[in-house]
A and B are shown apart, each in its own frame.
Chain A
């Protein structure tokens, strides 16, 4: 296995063209939020980018006085946490079930993934009328139920990827040494997929934190953060909107970046270990 790309030689401009288009895609994905971050550091009322020495956190400090923002933030953090706490084990259990299934596994996976593709507005509307039917009044509980449905497909996928990295022989070795099925799972499988479970938790948390369409139909009296932000974005533009947009985006980026760095670190540690193993075999 070489570390080269599959096509390494001359490409008659193909490499340059494709790389340029890829760069363009990354620019339209990242440029607006980066620009927003810079603008939010500008101390003036006017929207503009200032030179770095004039950067100031004026608008971020002004955020601290916004009580409605903080109660919305609190509500969203709470709902995100509750969603992730439920989505992670349920997602793992569904992933194990999928791997153990012999028949119907395709349909099972399709049902789970299809929840991503039902428009949020329709899912929220449907849940709200059903909950109305069973007389559950809207509150953080109803939003959490909606978000569980939204985040579960991602938790299942992340758990599936994690489980696929566990070698069956490792678990069988534990079983041969006398460990029961449960014991082997807790002592061998779980530690090996710890990283995936953390990713599953963080992804579920972030997806819930930023979800808007379902929450619109499911909230009680207390708004969630995206609903509050949407309101603020559509009513007069105050520079604090840029500051809290900046804060939200910076926090989410930090969260996902940590996950990816952690995964990359584990991967390189693994490959280092297997490389060393290979070398010692050769010398021995």
Chain B
């Protein structure tokens, strides 16, 4: 009897061990890609940001210095860092405010078929050219654009409104349109985990829609709201093409600054900027994960 049980335990351990080994081998290819092509390059950049430029080889040499980090604070570079973060926060706020109603319509107010259609509509543009989507705003917002034509024909203005294009307004509009799905998807995932009976109960107890929404739904989807805000923020910090295509002359961002600094071969400085940004983003994601258990949002996918 005891021997039988022991045999089973041994068997179970064997199965579990084989399962663990299989998991390890199957995880290996993706880990090689992420560590080899993702983590190691970032670690290299972080290390080399403390090296110095070598005028002889037009590359860098292992002379340790903090000069590039001091340079970070010169020539208004700190302003660009802060401005990028501020712009990203503005875009994340606007996207979140638009995404809450959209996710509510998907998760609460639609039948399954329309919910699927809406999720598809919000996801499809992500897989199309971001470059073209940003560029298309030039047609809409330009002097000859559709908005100015409508405004002039309505008599609202006689001359085209100039600040629509090549301005922060155009950048914000272009980025919100581009990154809205990043805010909506985590909220939709959270809505799927809400027990319907909770909402029914609230209605049965006489609460109207707004009461139910503000005191039951909003607190329940708060992790999704914060995750959505963070996703948009993080992506908006890193992008450059909307600013390059729609922003005013001289508008910069972190990515544009890195490209510019690389063009004048100041390698240690561009590595320093990149390091600061990556560390900032990693800390942000780790804090959010600790607070909100972000990885739990995706748990439904794994079981």
Please give the residue numbers on chain A whose beta carbons come within 8 Å of chain B beta carbons, in ascending order: 3-7, 9-12, 14-15, 17-19, 21-22, 24-26, 28-33, 35-36, 39, 47-49, 89-91, 93-94, 96-102, 105-106, 108-123, 125-127, 129-130, 133, 145-146, 148-149, 152, 156-157, 160-161, 164, 203, 206-207, 209-210, 212-213, 216, 226, 229-230, 233-234, 241-242, 245, 248-249, 252-253, 255-257, 260, 264, 267
Question: Does B156 sit at the interface, judged by CB under 8 A?
Answer: no
Min CB–CB distance B50 → chain A (angstroms)? 14
Provide a sorted-by-A list of 13 A–B residue pairs whose CB atoms are within 8 angstroms.
A3-B113, A35-B146, A36-B139, A93-B30, A94-B30, A112-B34, A122-B255, A130-B41, A160-B302, A206-B127, A212-B241, A213-B255, A229-B129
Q: Is the CB of A35 within 8 A of B139?
A: yes
Q: Counting CB contacts under 8 A, is B27 at the interface?
A: yes
> In the complex the two chains form, what is the Cα distance from A190 to B274 in whole Å?
41
For residue B208, CB closer than 8 A to chain A, the reply is yes
Structural contact, A126 and B132, CB atoms closer than 8 A = no
CA distance in complex: A207, B135 (Å): 18
Known: A118-B278, A130-B44, A161-B301. A101 touches B23 (CB 8 A): yes
Q: Taking the nearest CB of chain A, how far is it from the CB of B187, in angstroms?
A: 12
B31 to chain A, nearest CB (A): 8
B208 neighbours in A (Cβ, 8 Å): 10-12
12 new A-B contacts at CB < 8 Å, known A3-B112, A100-B23, A122-B255: A7-B209, A18-B104, A28-B173, A36-B139, A93-B29, A100-B26, A111-B34, A121-B259, A212-B130, A213-B238, A230-B241, A260-B124
Q: Are B127 and A145 in contact (CB under 8 A)?
A: no
Any A CB within 8 A of the CB of B66? no
Is residue B222 within 8 Å, beta carbon to beta carbon, of the partner chain? no
> Which of B6-14, B68-76, B115-123 forms part of the interface with chain A?
B115-123
- Chain B residues touching A, range: 35 or more
- Indicate whether A91 sits within 8 Å of B30 (C-beta atoms), given known contacts A21-B101, A30-B125, A100-B23: yes
Q: How far is the CA of A143 from the CA of B294 in the complex (A)?
A: 31
Q: Is the CB of B38 within 8 A of A118?
A: yes
Chain B's nearest CB lies how many Å from the CB of A169? 15
Residues of B within 8 A of A149 (CB): 33-34, 37-38
Contact indicator A264/B116 (Cβ below 8 Å): yes
Closest to A233 in B: B135
In the bound complex, CA of A152 to CA of B136 (Å)? 28
Q: Tell whether, in the assembled complex, residue B203 and residue A256 are in contact, meaning their CB atoms are under 8 Å apart.
A: no
User: A114 vs B42: C-alpha distance in the bound complex, in angstroms?
Assistant: 13
Query: Shortest Cβ distance from A87 into chain B, in angstroms?
Result: 9
* Bound-complex Cα distance A57 to B267 (A): 46
- A160: nearest chain-B partner, CB-CB: B301
Measured between C-beta atoms, what is the minimum distance from A148 to chain B in Å?
6
Among A4, A127, A267, residue most surrounded by chain B Cβ atoms (within 10 Å)? A127
Residue interface mask B175-192, A partner, CB < 8 A = 1: 011001000000000000
Q: How far is the CB of B294 from the nearest CB of chain A, in Å?
A: 8
- Complex-state Cα separation, A33 to B174, whole angstroms: 12
B37 cross-chain contacts in A, Cβ below 8 A: 127, 130, 145-146, 148-149
Q: CB distance A33 to B210 under 8 Å?
A: no
Cα of A277 to Cα of B212 in the assembled complex, Å: 37
